[in-house]
Amino acid sequence: MPESAPKQAARGVVTDNLVSLQSFILEEEARYPGATGEFSWIISAISLAAKIIAYKVRHVRLQNVLGEQGEENIQGESQLRMDVIANEVIMRVLGGRSSIAVLGSEEDQEPTILRRGHEGGKYCVLFDPLDGSSNLDTAVGVGTIFTILRNDPTIHDAVGTVCQPGTQQVAAGYVLYGSSTVLVITTGRGVHMFELDAAIGSFMLVKRDIRMPARNKVYSVNEAYTPGFPAGYRRYLEWAHENGYSSRYIGSMVADMHRTLVNGGVFLYPPTKKHPTGKLRLLYEANPMSFLVEQAGGTSTTGTVRTMDVKPRELHERTPLVLGSKDEVAAVLAHFRSPADAMA
């Protein structure tokens, strides 16, 4: 029997009018008297870039864009052709928006200053253009992660400008190029999901105000690294094994986080032997995901402090990360007896 409209509404499924991302953001902005519409221009640029990247990702073999670019990025990782293409698409689309002061990308060593505060640069956008790109040749879901910060006109250097704690994010989100293309966003008033309708070329609202379940016995971690995890994480995993937990790990953070956000559970990337301070990047991976998770009722920690309270020192800083359903994150932390248990 099909589910009734009130039941669907109770689950947050939109049953009323069709709403595009554009009109949703305009509606949000209209709540703030004096809003200039500049913010909605940035979101529209992100959605345009996402549509272009989605098209490329869906035709990687036909368009012959798989494989390595032959260069290394700042992280010392070899760049794939699609990393470079996705980065260029975002830089070109966002570069044309007159309110953006600084752009920072996982693929570029330094943030790019586009315009100063007195030239109208109100916002900074940081992004990971194509997270999980090493999964592209096996057609696994990949994603784009972004965060929007205010530009402080009194700070002149680009790195100093973008090194803001996660609590100062104005908006954050991701696009998952999965079996469907979804864009999930928060502007600090809940988390909302849009699905790309490629035929009409719009991201359409499909779920308003996503709330994560407080509990779900699922953990998501690269368990092969367990021997190198700090003691607290090893104890947690032993406990989870004995307590009926399930494991899900795609190895593409956006896909793993999307599942965690929708179904609940916990995602972990602890310190490892190879990455003693964690692998994931604080500014454009951990912080945007943490903002979304907190807005959906979950929690995010580095193992020692709230992720969004960390004051960053550099654009590509890494952090250990534990985030997801409130009770599941608490269950991880309950196995840390001292701060040393969380560190490599």
Min dist CB 134 to ligand AHM, Å, is: 6
Say whether residue 83 binds Mg ion (CB under 5 A): no
Closer to Mg ion by CB, 131 or 256: give it: 131
Rounded alpha-carbon distances, angstroms, from residue 130 to 107, 174, 284: 9, 10, 11
Give the residue nearest to Mg ion (CB): 131
Quick check: helix, strand or coil at residue 204? strand
What residues form DSSP beta bridges with 280? 319
Nearer to Mg ion, 86 or 322 (CB): 86
Binding-site partner at residue 222 among ligand AHM, Mg ion, none, CB < 5 to 8 Å by type: ligand AHM
Separation CA 105–CA 78 (nearest Å): 15
- The DSSP bridge partners found for residue 71 are none
28 or 106, CB closer to ligand AHM?
106
User: What are the DSSP E strand ranges found in the chain?
Assistant: 68-72, 78-80, 100-105, 112-113, 123-131, 142-150, 171-177, 181-186, 191-197, 202-207, 218-220, 246-247, 266-269, 280-281, 299-301, 318-319, 321-324
77 binds ligand AHM (CB under 6 A): yes
Shortest Å distance, C-beta 117 to ligand AHM: 30
- The site for ligand AHM, by CB under 6 A, has a size of 12
| Closest CA relative to residue 45, chosen from 14, 91, 2 | 91
319 binds, among Mg ion, ligand AHM, none (CB under 5 to 8 A by kind): none
Q: Smallest distance from the beta carbon of 249 to ligand AHM, in angstroms?
A: 7
Candidates 139, 131, 120, 127; CA nearest to 171 is: 127
Site string for ligand AHM, 266-305 (x = CB under 6 A): -------------x--------------------------
Residues 87-146 that bind ligand AHM (CB under 6 A): 106, 128, 131-133
Mapping DSSP onto H, E and C, the string for 88-148 reads HHHHHHHHCCCCEEEEEECCCCCCEECCCHHHCCCEEEEEEEEECHHHHHHCCCEEEEEEE
Distance between CA atoms of 183 and 103, rounded to whole angstroms? Answer: 20
Taking the complex as a whole, how short is the minimal distance between the CB of residue 34 and ligand AHM, in angstroms? 38
Question: Using CB distances below 5 to 8 A depending on partner kind, what does residue 252 bind out of Mg ion, ligand AHM, none?
Answer: ligand AHM
Per-residue 3-state assignment (H helix, E strand, C coil) for 60-82: CCCCCCCCEEEEECCCCCEEEHH
Q: Which residue of 128, 294, 328, 341 would you call a contact of Mg ion, by CB under 5 A?
A: 128
x/- contact string, 234-273, with ligand AHM (CB under 6 A)? -----------------xxx--x-----------------
Given ligand AHM, Mg ion, none, residue 329, with its beta carbon under 5 to 8 Å by kind, binds none
Q: Shortest distance, CB of residue 13 to Mg ion, whole angstroms? A: 30
Segment near Mg ion (CB under 5 A); pick from 19-27, 50-58, 129-137, 290-298: 129-137
Cα–Cα distances in angstroms (integers) from residue 142 to residues 32, 130, 208, 283, in the given order: 34, 7, 23, 19
Among 28, 83, 107, 131, indicate the residue that binds Mg ion (CB under 5 A). 131
Which residues of the chain form contacts with ligand AHM (CB under 6 A)? 77, 106, 128, 131-133, 222, 251-253, 256, 279
Which residues of the chain form contacts with Mg ion (CB under 5 A)? 128, 131
